[in-house]
A and B are shown apart, each in its own frame.
Chain A
Amino acid sequence: MLKINQLHKSYAIGDSSLHVLKGIDLSVDKGEMVAIMGSSGSGKSTLLNIIGMLDEADSGDYILDELPIKDLTEKKAAVYRNRFLGFIFQSFNLINYKTAVENVALPLYYQGMKRKERHELAMFHLGKVGLADWAKHLPKELSGGQKQRVAIARALAANPKLLLADEPTGALDTKTSHEIMEFIQSLNDEGKTILMVTHEEDIANMCKRIVRLRDGVIMEDKRVEQIRAEQYV
């Protein structure tokens, strides 16, 4: 599904440069649910951004579903992101003047889908996250948990190969975090491949595999016994 070989990334800081990723090798199979952990500055977000094609590696290979991702133009990256990836952010990143259903339909708009079709599909996904009744509400009228569920519906709308979540529960209280995790787990149960950055141990333990980064290298990569979130809900 996802194969990364000797990935390097540095950022220029003034005259010197900061070597953030120092040769990452990572391979993720279809249907996995991986937590990427590490203290701040360990390079976990940079790794997620490169996987999400929001950033480009300096060197190394990145193959997504047998498609080598390299020499991306802005346009090509936009198409790949749209077709292959779904993003879930810590701060939800909904467009504040669009209703829930319009937010969910946005990736479909960029696919060139017709208005009626994408509305139907967006409604279907909103229903899946249990917010069909909130379709016409603006983000500011939704609670944090609801916003994140809209964001998840949006990430799912384009039926991506890979779901990328950057601290998806970072802005939520414990109870809501567990609800969101329960939902993400159910998505994984259905077969979605999920990659998640988190620094919370209990959230990481709800995944099936934990990859720990420190100073730009993988120091631990282990499979864990998944803790189901529904027991806390």
Chain B
Amino acid sequence: MFDLDLWREIFQSINMNRTRSLLSGFTVAFAILLFTVLFAIANGLQNTFSEAFVDEAANSIFIKSGRTTKAHKGLQAGRRIQFKNEDFDYVKEEFGDKVEFITARIYKNVNATYKNEQSTYPLRAVHPDHQFLEKTLIQSGRYINQNDLDNNTKSVVIGRLVEEDLFIKKEALGKYINLNGIPYKVVGVFHDDGGDNEERIIYMPVTTAQRIYGNNDYINQINLTYNPEMDYDQALSFSTLLTKKLKNRFSIAKNDQRAVRVRNMAQGTKAISQMSFGLTIIILVIGFGTLIAGIVGISNIMIFIVKERTKEIGIRKALGASPKSIVSIILIESILITAIAGYIGLLIGVGVLELVGPSLEDYFIKDPGVSNSLVIGATATLIIAGAIAGYLPAKKASKIKPIIALRND
């Protein structure tokens, strides 16, 4: 039941004891403020980490070639290893369902022109699977498909920023773009979360690039993702086996580190997720430490308040206050101060984040923020803590004998 008089009593008590109320409120507000900011910074750090790796699938393996550094099987050191289509097919056939997606890559730089606009862009000639490896998101049109490969079509898929640069607010889809003097049809426009550079790339079918640039079957790199059902150890042994088989195939010494390089993202991903985990633990400890400090602060203040009000409680009891009314007046005051102060701390915390958040990106803190549920949870915890912290002293206060309370003066 809503008891207006009880609330009047409480507001009067808060209002007439401003220093006391402000002090206890400050503790709570500060705890929530710190909690919010710390959690937000932690989230910002995690955002930075996960963004650095959002661009590529976590189960990616990159295979590159170089020159041999050691003589092996009668072949000299310094021999250049060149992947060809047959090597791509070999990897694809040999490892079967251990491979999820696989693509070759050929790198070029092209001078692209459309009407009067021109610029230089990196070009990647790829297989259709590349879309999933690179987490490329099609904005309009389509990606390179098998038909493009089979027919060596002069089709390209361009990044969002290429379209912006060259087509200037016009639809690029279906238009012809000139790459080093040869016109290609734009069959798709993509965007990518990996940053601006990733959106200034032009993709074309691998076969088309081989035909036009050198008329050979060379490829620069093979990218694949392993079956995501493999765990970390399986993934590592898979990439070890892959390395071994490729070294065998090209007659490379086992300890030659340069000729064929296999980079398994699982290692990096594992390190990152461990780091994130460690970070989360640290933040949890700090955050809850702050909360506990806040709770202890409220408890202390509540005990102090009851002590300070002992005499008042004695007077009230002598005048006929029931124990229940003593408990409720102290308890509700405690909860009210905690709730309001917690909310203020939250507002300040969010305000601080809004203000300085964007400038923190230089310090690897991106989009610092806290989820509403977390903050509401923290405030609720503090309110419950305030209630408990207030209840015990209030219960004690209600048991104070009026004669004892009224004696010392």
Chain A interfacial positions (CB closer than 8 Å to B): 49, 52, 54-55, 74-75, 78-79, 81-83, 87, 89, 91, 93-98, 102, 106-107, 109-111, 115, 154, 158
- Whether the Cβ atoms of B16 and A158 lie closer than 8 Å is no
Contact assessment for A89 and B406 in the assembled complex, using a CB-CB cutoff below 8 Å: yes
B residues contacting the other copy or chain, number (CB 8 A): 29
Contact code string B321-340 (vs A, CB < 8 Å = 1, else 0) = 11111000000000000000
Q: How far is the CB of A104 from chain B (nearest CB, A)?
A: 10
Q: A54-B403, A95-B312, A97-B17 are in contact. Are A78 and B5 (CB under 8 A)?
A: no
Of A54, A106, A154, the residue contacting B402 (CB under 8 A) is A54
CB contact under 8 A between A55 and B401, given known A93-B311, A107-B320: yes
Q: Is B13 interfacial (CB-CB < 8 Å)?
A: yes
The 4 closest A-B pairs by CB, nearest first: A82-B320, A97-B16, A110-B320, A91-B409
**Quick check: B322 and A49 within 8 Å, CB to CB?**
no
15 other contacts beyond A54-B403, A78-B317, A95-B315, with CB at 8 A cut-off? A52-B318, A54-B402, A55-B403, A74-B322, A74-B399, A78-B321, A79-B320, A81-B319, A82-B319, A87-B318, A93-B315, A98-B16, A109-B5, A111-B320, A154-B319
Contact A54 B319 (CB under 8 A): no
A91 to B406 CA separation, bound complex (whole angstroms): 9
Question: At the interface, yes or no: B84 with Cβ under 8 Å from chain A?
Answer: no
Interface set, chain B 367-409, CB cutoff 8 A to A: 398-399, 401-403, 406, 409
In the assembled complex, the Cα of A6 lies from the Cα of B401 at a distance in Å of: 24
Of A54, A75, A106, which contacts B316 at CB under 8 A?
A: A106
Taking a contact as CB atoms under 8 Å apart, the answer to whether A98 and B406 are in contact is: no
Please report the C-alpha to C-alpha distance between residue A79 and residue B323 in the assembled complex, in whole angstroms.
11
Say yes or no: is B109 at the interface (Cβ < 8 Å to chain A): no
Q: Does B139 contact A (CB under 8 A)?
A: no
Determine how close the nearest CB of chain B comes to the CB of A4; give it in whole angstroms.
Answer: 18
Q: How far is the CA of A20 from the CA of B199 in the complex (A)?
A: 94
Report the bound CA distance from A71 to B8 in whole Å: 33
* A158 neighbours in B (Cβ, 8 Å): 320
Q: Is B12's beta carbon under 8 Å from chain A?
A: yes
| Partner among A81, A91, A94, A98 whose Cβ is within 8 Å of the Cβ of B320 | A81
**In the assembled complex, which residues on chain A have CB atoms less than 8 Å from the CB atom of B13?**
97
Q: List 27 A-B contacts (CB under 8 A).
A: A54-B318, A54-B402, A54-B403, A55-B401, A55-B403, A74-B323, A75-B322, A75-B324, A78-B317, A78-B320, A79-B320, A81-B318, A81-B320, A93-B311, A93-B314, A93-B318, A93-B406, A95-B316, A96-B312, A97-B16, A102-B12, A106-B316, A107-B320, A109-B9, A110-B322, A110-B325, A158-B320
Give the distance to chain A from B1, nearest Cβ to Cβ, in Å. Answer: 12
Instruction: Specify the chain A residue showing the minimal Cβ separation from B311.
Output: A93
Asked if A97 and B315 sit within 8 Å, CB to CB, the answer is no
Nearest opposing residue in chain A for B319, CB measure: A107
Tell me the bound Cα distance from A148 to B64 in angstroms: 97
> Could you tell me the distance between the alpha carbons of A81 and B321 in the complex, rounded to whole angstroms?
9
Asked if B312 contacts A78 (CB within 8 A), the reply is: no
Max chain A C-beta neighbours (<10 A), residue from B315, B398, B409? B315
